Amino acid sequence: MAFEGLADRLQNTIKKITGKGKVSEADVKEMTREVRLALLEADVNFKVVKDLIGRIKERAIGQEVMESLTPGQQVIKVVKEELSDLMGGEQSKIAVSDRPPTVIMMVGLQGAGKTTTTGKLANYLRKKQNRSPLLVACDIYRPAAIKQLETLGAQLDMPVFSMGTDVKPAEIVQEALKEAKANHNDYVLIDTAGRLHIDEELMGELQEVREVAKPEEIFLVVDAMTGQDAVNVAESFNEQLDVTGVVLTKLDGDTRGGAALSIKAVTGKPIKFAGMGEKLDALEPFHPERMASRILGMGDVLTLIEKAQSNIDEKQAKELEEKMRNMSFTFDDFLEQMSQVKKMGPLEDLMSMIPGAGKIKGLKNAQIDERQLSHIEAIIQSMTKQERIDPNIINASRRKRIAVGSGTSVSQVNRLIKQFNDMKKMMKQMTNMTKGKKGKGFKL
Ligand code: GDP
């Protein structure tokens, strides 16, 4: 998970101060020293760290903390607010033009994730805001890039405008805008060319595109894994093009977090979105406050709820609840439930959104084995329809057959059936418990 090292260190540091009824100046100094080291180790820009620590110290040693009833917690609140402000404070939204189409120009170095992000953003605009974007392929140097965008467009069932590799990008944009107007596309997303390094020619071309496109937004796509390099790239692009926002990709990877924490402070431009994976729905609006909360181990319940809401079908959830209530929950339902949870993303990421999950002994380092989940799926899929509905009929020979069919062992099959039965027992108890409120007693 991203930020892991930083989160660990910061959480250890603040743990020492949390419960303190009295916080001395020496305590604050000790804490800020450790926070400083943790941030530097996470590759946060040196100057950014210096300023941040200055602000935390000033506030934590000041009246705000010293005279409060819960000084320890007050210090942590200060740290969280400052981290959040560092990343931009409020979440910033995408601009909307009052004369559609709204034009968004995507820029960035090759390999940063520009084309993928263009697809993800189009998907986001349609799914979350009911928009109909037109994608425009302007990387005339790499035919593969045009093809890549066309493939994404086909996957999303969205139009892609391209004119091959012989027409200048500014001209392509001019034609694309006409097309968008004619087809009533309300957003135009322009995927521009990237290079391995920043060069003048590229910047000149991007400026020409900007002249013609008059974009409401210029999103710079940077790779979080490249740390301080990402910040330097952002600085140069911003100087030349005056970008309006940053999309930080590959935050699902093992990044130390330095880029996320430095970009806004160094460039003055907010991070608008975070790329959290290769799939087309792996793009999240960037919420500085929630991110600060996650880094400090306070969880991010809001994002978790939003993920659940957008991935779990409410009608199905209601039906499931009903089945639990009347005890008709089967292995098929179990499978369905698993696939809904899986849609929410890697389990490890979900865990980091639960407040305090990192502190639960054993849980933090427990490898959540996604392979085990696929074994469970395979076992259930090897059962007959009748077996899934009524596991009681699964005798020894059936267990053997299921194990062979799913490529697992009989003991794995046994374990799953036992877990399923235990789960049903628990559901029964819970239903009794709620019934109990109305008069019946609850006995374990
Ligand atoms: P471009 O050259 O900037 O257009 O980059 P691409 O869009 O072709 O992406 C380069 C690689 O990064 C591809 O393999 C993408 O699948 C991958 N990628 C892009 N965004 C993300 C992300 O948020 N997470 C991960 N893990 N991979 C990403």
What pLDDT shows up at residue 361? Answer: 46
At 76, the amino acid letter reads I
* Among the listed residues 69, 55, 67, 74, the one whose alpha carbon sits nearest the alpha carbon of residue 14: 74
- Residue 112 among known ligand-binding residues: yes
- Residue 77 among known ligand-binding residues: no
- How far, in Å, is the centroid of ligand 1 from the Cα of 117? 7
Spacing of C-alpha 238 from chain mean position: 25
- How far, in Å, is the centroid of ligand 1 from the Cα of 311? 23
- Residue 110 among known ligand-binding residues: yes
Query: Domains along the chain?
Result: 4-86 (1.20.120.140), 102-298 (3.40.50.300), 313-435 (1.10.260.30)
Interatomic CA distance for residues 281 and 346, integer angstroms: 13
Residue 141 is given by DSSP the state T
Measured CA to CA in angstroms, residue 157 lies from 128, 144, 152, 153, 409 at distances of 16, 19, 8, 6, 43
Question: Which residue stretches of the chain have pLDDT < 70?
Answer: 1-2, 66, 69, 299-302, 312, 347-348, 352, 354-370, 430-444
What pLDDT shows up at residue 432? Answer: 66
Interatomic CA distance for residues 365 and 8, integer angstroms: 12
* Among the listed residues 264, 360, 287, 425, the one whose alpha carbon sits nearest the alpha carbon of residue 11: 360
- Residue 111 among known ligand-binding residues: yes
Global pTM reads 0.74
Contact 188, 134 (CB under 8 A): yes
What pLDDT shows up at residue 203? Answer: 93
What pLDDT shows up at residue 199? Answer: 86
Task: Using the Cα atoms of residue 91, residue 122, residue 120 and residue 239 in order, give the sign of their dihedral.
Answer: negative
* Residue 41 exposure: Cα atoms within 13 Å on the Cβ side: 14
- How far, in Å, is the centroid of ligand 1 from the Cα of 153? 16
ipTM, 2 dp: 0.98
Q: Tokens 């200060």 — which residue?
A: 78
* Among the listed residues 10, 32, 9, 31, the one whose alpha carbon sits nearest the alpha carbon of residue 20: 31
First to last CA, the chain: 39
Contact 273, 248 (CB under 8 A): yes
Contact 259, 87 (CB under 8 A): no
What pLDDT shows up at residue 444? Answer: 34
- How far, in Å, is the centroid of ligand 1 from the Cα of 230? 14
Pocket test for ligand 1, best of 195, 247, 278 (most atoms within 8 A of CB): 278
User: CB-based contacts of 117: which residues, under 8 Å, 6+ apart?
Assistant: 106, 219, 221, 247, 249, 273, 275, 283
Pocket test for ligand 1, best of 109, 114, 116 (most atoms within 8 A of CB): 116
State the DSSP string of 89-132.
SS--PPP--SSSPEEEEEE--TTSSHHHHHHHHHHHHHHHH---
Ligand 1: nearest atom to the Cα of 277: 24
What pLDDT shows up at residue 433? Answer: 60
Pocket lined around ligand 1, Cβ cut-off 6 Å: 108, 110-116, 194, 249-250, 252-253, 275-278, 282
